[in-house]
Structure 1
Amino acid sequence: MKKLIIATGLLLGGLFAQAQVKGVKHVILIGMDGFGAYCFPKVDNPNMKQLMKEGSWTLQARSVLPSSSAVNWASMVMGAGPEVHGYTEWDSRTPELPSRTLDQYGMFPSIYTILREQKPNAEIGVIYSWEGIGYLFPKAAVNKDLGTKDNDSLATEASIAYIKEKKPDFLFIHFDQPDGVGHNIGHNIQPYFDQVKKNDELLGKILQAVKDAGIWDNTIILLTADHGGIKKGHGGKTMEEMQIPWIIRGPGVKANKELGTSVVTYDTAATIAWIFGLKTPQVWTGRPVKEAFK
């Protein structure tokens, strides 16, 4: 009986070590700060719209509340809302509320934690413009940890080099814009749209790097945001602040599919875990967006 239990455990371990979605070896999550879904009909963003054409998408995904940065970046990678992970402010560096549970790194369990546990040899990277991201993941769980001090171009260059050199299993790339323009000039106006176009150009460079690295055909790209904005701020309960784009393309993903499924930002972690075939913590509330897949 004991041998049977051990064999079953080894079998399950083997299952968790293989991707749930056939043909997937890499996932690249790209997050753009303050990127409201409302702007899509008004922006020249051909790379983003090509991803939509090739993949599945919704412009009605929602942030958690408050609709601000750290709380939503935490929720995106931690698979749960602030009620349980405890990060509640735009600039949270540590949880204001006690996290419901802690992983071996002393943090609320994240996609980084479970990927490292269940795929110990995975190459995992985080490249980010806003320094606040650096407080929202266990650094001991990743191979690459690089902040670029609000410089999205530098984050793009670093990401291109990392993709080509290491071909990471999982990479999170954070852009600080268009949030800066939203705060300093305003949301839903031409300068904001112009900045989103610049973001789209940087996205195009990253997509080309994936192709140049020879991993395009087995890579899933997931593009989303932490929140949108209204006037020169965010954090409130308007749809302009809460609705974010959620776009996914790659092997196994339905093409040109507008999703009817409800998507909340914590579903992002759950979807990535499901793609990789990972067992998720009981404390997570996120659900994989299976409608996006064939």
Structure 2
Amino acid sequence: MLGKKGFLLVLLLVIVSCKSTKSTEGANRKPLAKHVILIGSDGFGAYAFKKAKLPNLRKMMNGGVYSLQARSVLPSSSAVNWASMIMGSGPELHGYTEWGSKTPELPSRIIGEGGIYPSVFSLIDKQLPKAKKGVSYTWSGIGYLFEKNMVDLDFNGSEDPQTVDKALEFIIKDKPAFTFIHLTHPDNEGHEIGHDTPRYYKATEKVDELVGTIVETLKKNDMLDETVLIFSSDHGGIGKGHGGKTLEEVEIPWIVYGKNIQPKGKLTSTIMTYDTGATIAYLLGLEIPEFWRGKPITEIVK
């Protein structure tokens, strides 16, 4: 048995070990990629992969990792889920609770230096102050969900191709650490014509073509090998609406492809949309704040 001195020595070693572990938990890790691009397609339900021709997205799925069972938060509508995606937390904490939320209906648990619940942009701004970052979006509602005083690009395009062109111009010229590209289709067709219709699937195929344009442009400019692409959505839909509690509305695609991403294919992890923000932070080597509830999906990396 240990004597009194031996016991104290063991206790001291345990305390020192715990302190050492604690001190390194929050330290910045080496980034796994120089550039992360989040492509968000509004209203793109996971079920679209059953009927639509999506060669570029399928190439990313086969060469990277994916889940077609990732889930949105409730309600399964736009602002609440885009906020959750880049704020690393659900509406219970960030406070944006409705389709078109411009300000939190529920007081945010934390208010950051940007005047809103801290998003991935504020993490980058604080921990990588020299890094460029930007947002190019077609739906104007995105403009209320990030810290405008912290980005180098804030562009609201009139159509998805213009939104993508502006984002690529920024990416090629400024080599940003993080870019969020929001596409308004196929949500428009889902509301106007209906989900699970030929027009809806045609719109998803146009989104796929834009994804192909992004990948090819990165390749031509020798950036693809240093970039991680994440493709996801805010919700799916049924009929001409969304916001409910069906799997058609809640299940969203989650695809990751690029630098240091293993070609594992289908993921087994349970993924919530707020895990996207945490995964972006992980890929960029950032410390994830305590008040975020998302967790990085670490099985995606080599």
State the match for 1:232 in structure 2. 240
Q: Deviations over 1:241-292 (max 9, x none)?
A: 0000000011221204200100000000000111111111111110001121
**1:55 aligned to 2:67?**
no
Q: 2:145 aligns with which of 136, 139, 143?
A: 136
State the match for 1:200 in structure 2. 208
3-state SS of 1:188 partner: coil
Equivalences for residues 232-251 of structure 1 within 5 A:
232-251=240-259
Distance in 1, matches of 2:24 and 2:285, equals 11
Q: CA deviation at 1:13?
A: 11
State the match for 1:5 in structure 2. none
State the match for 2:189 in structure 1. 181
Distance in 1, matches of 2:284 and 2:165, equals 26
Q: Percent identity?
A: 49
Q: Any stretches of 5+ residues in structure 2 without a counterpart? A: 1-19
3-state SS of 2:241 partner: coil
4+ long deviations beyond 2 Å: 11-15
**1:104 aligned to 2:113?**
yes
Aligned amino acid, residue 177 of structure 1: H
Aligned amino acid, residue 139 of structure 1: K
Aligned amino acid, residue 176 of structure 1: T
8 Å contact from structure 2 (residues 37, 178) kept in 1: yes
Distance in 1, matches of 2:111 and 2:189, equals 36
Larger CA Rg, structure 1 vs 2 = 2
Distance in 2, matches of 1:15 and 1:259, equals 28
Query: What's the TM-score once normalised by structure 2's chain length?
Result: 0.90
Aligned amino acid, residue 96 of structure 2: Y
State the match for 1:16 in structure 2. 28
8 Å contact from structure 1 (residues 159, 206) kept in 2: no
Q: Deviations over 1:55-82 (max 9, x none)?
A: 0000000000000000000000000000
Aligned amino acid, residue 92 of structure 1: S
8 Å contact from structure 2 (residues 30, 284) kept in 1: yes
Quote the RMSD (CA, aligned, Å). 1.6
Q: CA deviation at 1:188?
A: 0.8
Aligned amino acid, residue 165 of structure 1: K
Aligned amino acid, residue 46 of structure 2: A
Q: Deviations over 1:221-256 (max 9, x none)?
A: 000000000010000000000000000011221204
Q: 1:280 aligns with which of 278, 284, 288?
A: 288
Aligned amino acid, residue 25 of structure 1: K
3-state SS of 1:30 partner: strand
Q: CA deviation at 1:16?
A: 1.4
8 Å contact from structure 1 (residues 257, 292) kept in 2: no
Q: How many residues align?
A: 281
8 Å contact from structure 1 (residues 52, 247) kept in 2: yes
Aligned amino acid, residue 69 of structure 1: S
State the match for 1:220 in structure 2. 228
Aligned amino acid, residue 75 of structure 2: P
Q: 1:266 aligns with which of 274, 278, 283?
A: 274
State the match for 1:34 in structure 2. 43
Distance in 2, matches of 1:141 and 1:164, equals 20
3-state SS of 2:230 partner: strand
Distance in 2, matches of 1:40 and 1:223, equals 13
Distance in 1, matches of 2:52 and 2:110, equals 41
Query: What's the TM-score once normalised by structure 1's chain length?
Result: 0.93
Aligned amino acid, residue 54 of structure 1: G
Q: 2:154 aligns with which of 145, 167, 171?
A: 145
Distance in 1, matches of 2:140 and 2:94, equals 20
Aligned amino acid, residue 227 of structure 1: H
State the match for 1:4 in structure 2. none
Distance in 1, matches of 2:29 and 2:300, equals 22
3-state SS of 1:201 partner: helix
3-state SS of 2:173 partner: helix
Q: CA deviation at 1:212?
A: 2.0
State the match for 1:254 in structure 2. 262
3-state SS of 1:31 partner: strand
Aligned amino acid, residue 122 of structure 1: A
Q: CA deviation at 1:160?
A: 2.0
Distance in 1, matches of 2:29 and 2:137, equals 27
Q: CA deviation at 1:174?
A: 0.2
Distance in 1, matches of 2:260 and 2:168, equals 24
**1:117 aligned to 2:126?**
yes
3-state SS of 2:118 partner: coil
State the match for 2:11 in structure 1. none
